[in-house]
Amino acid sequence: MFDYLKGRWTNNAGRDLEQYITYSTVVRSVIYTENTEMFTVTVNDLKTGAIRTEQFTHVCVAYLTSQMLLQLQGIEAFDGRVVHSHDIKDGVELKNQNDLIVGSSHSAVDIALHIMTYGGKSVIVSWRTKAPNHIWPKGITEKCEVESIQGQIVTFKDGSSAVVDSIFLCTGYKTLFPFLENRLRIAEETSFYQSELYKGSLFLPVAQSKLFFVGAQDQLYTLTFIMFFLPNEPKSTEEMQKYADDWHGRVKHLKCLPDFIEFQASFISDLAEDTQYGMEYTKAVPLFLEHIKARDVAIAHGRNIKFALFLSE
């Protein structure tokens, strides 16, 4: 990843931008002052320990998240491992285990299959809001929400129970911007479109036209980056907020994964039309839908389908 980014800073930028980049530095605080229309940014040099403060006209923030952890009754005294999906590194250590997964998202599916691939005895996938009703390989079953935990015994809300060795929390993420003052932060709950952002990037409530977020959405098209100037700018605050409200409102009506795929394709189309960006990404939509159909046949079946590369050089 570092080599890729370095290539963007040097070869693709037309000039060497690395001279403007400071490494091994952590941002500690960002404060905006209306009178001066400037950001006061305090940073910490991790090599020297030095702390310094600088003034900036604009700030651009990468999308940062933190694990969402559930407070299940008795989990603090669970006689085994409790791990968030983000922290799973190797499946070898899961061999010969009976495991519980809390959550039924894509990461839950991946981890359940991963455990059995590496010799796990069994996996229970506990759904919280809606039963996924997947057709699982042998050894993986679905259960309703967890009621309580005592020792290694997990009791579910249907009255059944099971003994498990490890609990994996596939419970999602929340946005995390501790260095930004509160009024500069987007909502903590992740979304396919944040209501505070114009074009999914420009922060509207405060410091208008000066604070940007990059990748501040749940993403299906994770490699799509559109880096061109938008034409016909600037727009009024009212116009930009209406745009943000319209897109955020559409998210509330999305019911299933195909809906989210079509929604995000529409949003990328909106950006692409504004910037004259290529439209090849639209070829991914039928591939996404085909993959979903394969998963419906059997959850592991989707992994066996290969798709040809459709992007040009």
Query: If you average pLDDT over every residue of the chain, what do you get?
Result: 87
Considering only residues 228 and 184, tell me which one the structure prediction assigns the higher pLDDT: 184
The pTM score is 0.81
Instruction: Give just the sign of the alpha carbon dihedral 303, 308, 312, 313.
Output: positive
Does the pLDDT of residue 216 top 80, yes or no? Answer: yes
Burial of 287 (0-12, 13-18, 19+ CB in 10 A): middle
Per-residue confidence (pLDDT) for residue 78, from 0 to 100:
94
Residue 205: cis peptide before it, omega within 30 degrees of 0: no
Alpha-helical regions (H) of 141-256: 237-251
Number of C-beta neighbours around residue 193 at 10 A = 21
69-169 maps to which CATH number?
Answer: 3.50.50.60
Give me the pLDDT at residue 13, please.
Answer: 61
For 247, residues 6+ apart whose C-beta sits below 8 A from its C-beta are 193, 200, 267
Residue 153 to residue 163: CA distance in whole angstroms: 5
d(CA 299, CA 110): 10
Helix, strand, coil share (%) of the chain residues, nearest 5: 30, 25, 45
| pLDDT of 82 higher than 90 | yes
pLDDT digit string (tens) for 128-169? 888 888 989 999 999 999 999 999 999 999 999 999 999 999
Residue 40 CB-density burial (10 A; 0-12 exposed, 13-18 middle, 19+ buried): middle
Coil, helix or strand at residue 7 = helix
What is the per-residue pLDDT for 231? 64
Phi, psi torsion values for 52, nearest 5 degrees: -140, 160
Quick: pLDDT tens for 238-269: 999 999 999 999 999 998 888 999 999 898 88
Distances (CA, A) of 69 to 66, 72, 103, 130, 167: 9, 9, 11, 19, 12
Sheet containing 25-33, strands listed edge to edge, beginning at the edge strand earlier in sequence: 25-33, 38-45, 51-56
Most confident stretch, 1-15, 56-70, 111-125, 278-292: 111-125
Give the residue extent of every domain in the chain: 69-169
Question: Which CA distances in Å does 214 have to 61, 63, 102, 197?
Answer: 6, 6, 30, 10
Q: Of the spans 3-7, 36-40, 66-70, 109-113, which averages the highest pLDDT?
A: 36-40
CA distances from 271 to 130, 191, 198, 199, 216 (A): 33, 18, 11, 7, 15
Write out the H or E segment, with its range, that includes residue 101.
strand 98-102
Is 274 a residue whose pLDDT tops 60?
yes
Q: Cα 94 to the chain's mean position, in Å?
A: 25
Checking if the pLDDT of 31 tops 90, the result is yes
pLDDT digit string (tens) for 20-30?
889 999 999 99
Q: What is the pLDDT of residue 157?
A: 95
